[in-house]
Structure 1
Amino acid sequence: MTTTVAEELRRRELERYILEMEWEEQIRTRQAEKHFKLVEDVFRQHLGEAERMTIRQLITGAAANGRCEAMVYSFPARCCTDGGRAIEKNLPHWQKTLQGNAKELYHVFTETAKPQRYGLRAAVVDFAEGFPAEIGFFVTWEPLFFRSDESIY
């Protein structure tokens, strides 16, 4: 039985698609490994093993799924001096309203992860009666892209 031109084109397209999916999986795996190292390096002295494990799972899971951020911490809005309003309004001084563990985590992050080109975004993740109730910290990162002449190995 002979192969038609259309069948050959479909086969080639499928092969190309499979190679592309394998490449993207390798990129996601590499990114997840990079973020695993971040959690170990950044939070080792400031968080317990259970907390680090949870953050590590959140970040590496998000990276493995192709996302570029993960919520790693949440706290009641009442832990902010303004009840979370500066975060809700995305005001430039929102960091100054943090207290307690949130403030410590923010400082640890800015001293260790920010120089490695990670970002930290704070957002209201829950409201109660129209007011911020829960704040989330999201670690963000740029996706890994490779030029075609670069190897991921």
Structure 2
Amino acid sequence: MSETADHFHIHLPPSDQLRQRTQEARARVRQARHHVENAETRRAALEAERKRRLAPTEIRQRLTGLEEVVERGEYQLLLERFPSDICVDRGRAINNNEDSWPATLAGVALQLYLFWQTELRDLGYGITARILDFPDGIPGDAGLFLTWQ
């Protein structure tokens, strides 16, 4: 093996092991999110998510993956994954791709949207949101994406 090949050699588990672990992690998240025994605990967790804020350095840190995404030939960067339940309409506007979806945001997603509006929009970047999963057929997590296409 050449010196360059040795430099890039990494040890990864077989993909079926990662697939299994990913499915288990998703199942744990679904179970935790949809089967909380105490509804008050769930409401408190959602309220905490609505109030969560990032420091300015954390916002800029979200953009550090930009070059890597560009090098992969992609036109979007996931800025935040969040429960659609924190939206004022529980993700309906995002799911239906309504123009009013930004007005439904809360927490970090709203903070990142406002950052885009003041810092990135005039540079030609776009922003979009979409529902990422549908556990039990209902909107689950949403994603907020920075775009440049």
SS in structure 1 at match of 2:88: coil
TM-score of the two chains, using structure 2 as the length reference:
0.59
Letter in 2 for 1:56: T
| 1:79-90 pair list within 5 angstroms | 79-90=86-97
Q: How many corresponding residue pairs?
A: 96
Correspondence for 1:150: none
Structure 2 unaligned segments of length 5 or more: list them: 1-53
Hey, which of these two has a bigger chunk of strand by percent? 1
Residue identity opposite 2:83 in structure 1: P
Q: Compared with structure 1, are the counterparts of its residues 115 and 54 closer, same or farther at alpha carbon in structure 2 (3 Å cutoff)?
A: closer
Deviation, 1:118, is 0.1
Superposition pairs for residues 119-134 of structure 1, below 5 Å? 119-134=126-141
Runs of 4+ in 1 over 3 A off after TM superposition: 46-55
Show the 5 A alignment for 1:3-152.
47=55, 49=57, 52-57=60-65, 59-142=66-149
Any stretches of 5+ residues in structure 1 without a counterpart? 1-45, 143-153
Identity %: 30
Amino acid at match of 2:144: F
- TM-score, normalized by length of structure 1? 0.57
